[in-house]
Structure 1
């Protein structure tokens, strides 16, 4: 399980403590002030697990706030729970990363009625949709959030861990690429949409991604030009990655719900070719 090893890894958790210490001048003309309260310790992994298990998830849509490893810092997410999920009938998990990650919208994770819910209607899947908290999906704080939430859901609910897909649009699509590239053991497929993600690592090397991807891009995307995205895809394919690349004729960037038909086809690919 991710969370137990993940929370113990100091390279993955970066918590900054700010302590303010003031010293008096040495005059003996008044009482010695009480020392400041000590900086509170971070919450433990078990604290987070216990709080998650105390939540009451109903079948259908659950909008949740969970206190993170840092006291007073919360993860906000939507979890859609299917009917009939049991230990003997585990269901797939769809991790959906919203677009406009840096907008700071406090409700962006609730926009699942566009694309992801219709695409998986009738499939009886869990849908996990976190809020980016105004940061890109591959920034450190969101890596912590994503890894923790995925482990909490897969470890404590009736999820089929062999059937986990990550999808997203724009910034969320870039995030889908990122987790497919660097956390390949956590998902079985990724469906990025309207993206511009360079798979070269810091050394400029392009390595094979072992997770199959179904990449969808609008031919008229004015934010992420098609030729740039197609170039990134071709480079990754040349490195051995299994990528189905679909050009959505006439689609622009700022109309994400227009991608519905293409995402429906991607879900067919997922069920027919991957799961």
Structure 2
């Protein structure tokens, strides 16, 4: 599914208006504006460490996310990783478990910001989550010492599919993507394969029960033939339901970022 082609702010303002149910009348609260969202984000605790946050972006609509802030010297910038959890569409705490499972150890030693958003009751490709991802990146760039040339999308299972989705359709946002245990068609409607204009590191278990490796590999190979820069890594012996065992492969992906994408 394609992301909306309208600008981020246009989508944001439209959605805030709709989600607020026309708030701002004589009997209702004033609608929440993008400036209000910016203010809420700017007032969060940005001290180094791991913290869970929630900001209201429309009437009774919240962005819930985990924020990891590194220790930086004055004037220093750091990469930003946006990790999209699996089980989107109702996994209330999945944004936390993905960090505890493979992110904390996989990115150990890399001084980086991490945002692990919660998809809530919707899928990553739903408009509200498209807005959330783009909005959080915009806020992070405005209020944190993020290196704008080192923003990475990553995720496992449905989050891996979302990594493909966002790098395919919003390449201006990311320098790279790391997709794990994913399945995303790179075919166009006419049957041809398309190029994805963001380097991707795709990790897939050889025994994946949900997304057969042959299917994912075929879509990867087809996109490479169209000009994509994709590194495909087979996680030998791993099935779909063991994301914590992807840690060594995540470490290898970080090495790929440092030596191939960012050098």
What's the TM-score once normalised by structure 1's chain length? 0.85
Corresponding residue for residue 105 of structure 1: 91
Aligned counterparts of 1:10 and 1:202: Cα–Cα separation in 2:
29
Check if 1:252 corresponds to 2:254: no
Structure 2, unaligned runs of 5 or more? 1-6
Is the 1:189–1:212 Cα contact (8 Å) retained in structure 2? yes
Partner of 1:106, secondary structure, is coil
Q: More helix per residue: 1 or 2?
A: 2
Corresponding residue for residue 77 of structure 1: 65
- Report how far residue 43 of structure 1 moved: 1.4
Is the 1:85–1:158 Cα contact (8 Å) retained in structure 2? no
Q: Deviations over 1:65-93 (max 9, x none)?
A: 0111x21110100000000154x210111
Aligned counterparts of 1:117 and 1:133: Cα–Cα separation in 2:
22
How many residue pairs get matched? 252
- Report how far residue 204 of structure 1 moved: 5.2
Is the 1:192–1:216 Cα contact (8 Å) retained in structure 2? yes
Q: Which of 240, 243, 255 matches 2:230?
A: 243
What's the TM-score once normalised by structure 2's chain length? 0.89
Corresponding residue for residue 153 of structure 2: 166
Q: Which of 21, 44, 50 matches 2:33?
A: 44
Aligned counterparts of 2:232 and 2:14: Cα–Cα separation in 1:
32
Structure 1, unaligned runs of 5 or more? 20-35
Partner of 2:247, secondary structure, is helix
Instruction: Identify if the C-alpha distance between structure 1 residues 140 and 214 changes in structure 2 by more than 3 Å, giving closer, same or farther.
Output: same
Corresponding residue for residue 7 of structure 1: 9
Partner of 1:115, secondary structure, is helix
Corresponding residue for residue 134 of structure 2: 147
Corresponding residue for residue 59 of structure 1: 48
Instruction: Identify if the C-alpha distance between structure 1 residues 10 and 76 changes in structure 2 by more than 3 Å, giving closer, same or farther.
Output: closer
Partner of 2:60, secondary structure, is coil
Compare 251-260 and 107-116 and name the one that shifted more.
107-116
